Amino acid sequence: MPYICQADASIPVLAVHDPENKQGHGKISNQGTYCGPVAAAQALIGRCLADPSLQNLLPARDHGESENNYQSRIINKLAKDMGTSNDLKKMETAGTTAQQLSDGIEKFVQDRGFKLRNNRWSGWGAGELNPASITDFPSVEEIQEAVANPNLDSIAHMGWYDESWRKDTFNRNGGHFAVFKGVNSDGTFTMHDPSPRAGGQASDVEISHLVDIGKLVNGKLEDGRDVFSASHNILTLKGIIPKPKNNIEIFPILDGVFQFGIERKN
């Protein structure tokens, strides 16, 4: 697993996939289902690098411990706090839900003597959120404002959707988490995501995607439980290119955004 990119002090490089990273001490047991913990680790490590007052948020590094093992320990702790499943025999429960991500980050932070502030979900979270957590879909302007805030971190919860045989209906067949790194002067976003599933490659250099968020003009989303018309401000992500599934094109659609700040407990 790559080390922190020294050229970027705000978002470190952590890869979801790495063929050299075998299961074992300090390693990630199944990287393919760990995008939630990895995205959280990227945000937390980057936050601590940017704000020295939060340096105790992360565990101390063991004497002689490599960067790979240190980052893996943080990711595995987050995965435990989130209840992330790496059981690929049960694909319906493999990975991390949106609710698990937010609850796990909160637990990790609280266990270290800190607390979340200004934390909220915007979006529907693909039916994976407790009803009380569901809010309206965020507007592009709201996301831009949050990402531009130096005191907040924003993690995108995107779904992989394919257009079904029913015209203009998009079915969700998977999902992914990635970190917003910044908003550009033209309103586009830079998203940090080293996962090959999102079009990148595992590497020891920073992998960022230029993402343009637009509105789904026609169609609706359907996952067997919830159906939303295009009037609900459904947002698409241009610049993230997931691999086709069974030769069917996959559309990345924003299911929601988790925004949060961190401060020490009183």
Residues 6+ apart with CB under 8 A from 6: none
Distance CA 228, CA 214 (A): 16
Count of CB atoms situated within 10 Å of the CB of 93: 11
Both tokens assigned to 52: 């020295």
User: Residue 114 in 3-state DSSP?
Assistant: strand
Going through 139-249 in order, the beta strands assigned E by DSSP cover 153-163, 169-183, 189-192, 208-215, 220-222, 227-229, 235-238
Model pTM? Answer: 0.85
Q: List, in sequence order, every residue forming a beta bridge with 257; answer none if it has no partner.
A: 122, 156
CA distances from 144 to 84, 130, 154 (A): 29, 25, 10
CA distances from 247 to 48, 83, 116, 168, 199 (A): 42, 32, 42, 18, 15
Report pLDDT for 216: 83
Show pLDDT as tens, one digit a residue, over the chain (266 residues). Answer: 233 333 344 555 565 544 444 444 445 555 567 888 889 998 999 899 888 889 899 999 888 887 777 888 888 899 899 998 776 565 556 688 999 999 999 999 999 999 999 999 888 877 788 777 777 788 899 999 999 999 999 999 998 888 765 667 888 888 889 999 999 999 999 988 766 555 544 444 456 788 999 988 777 877 655 677 666 778 999 988 777 777 778 888 999 999 999 999 87
**If phi over 0 gives left and psi between -120 and 50 gives alpha, with beta otherwise, what is residue 35?**
alpha
Comparing CA positions, the residue from 259, 255, 250, 258 lying closest to residue 228 is 255
Report pLDDT for 141: 93
- Give the distance from CA 223 to its chain's centroid: 20
Distance CA 176, CA 159 (A): 6
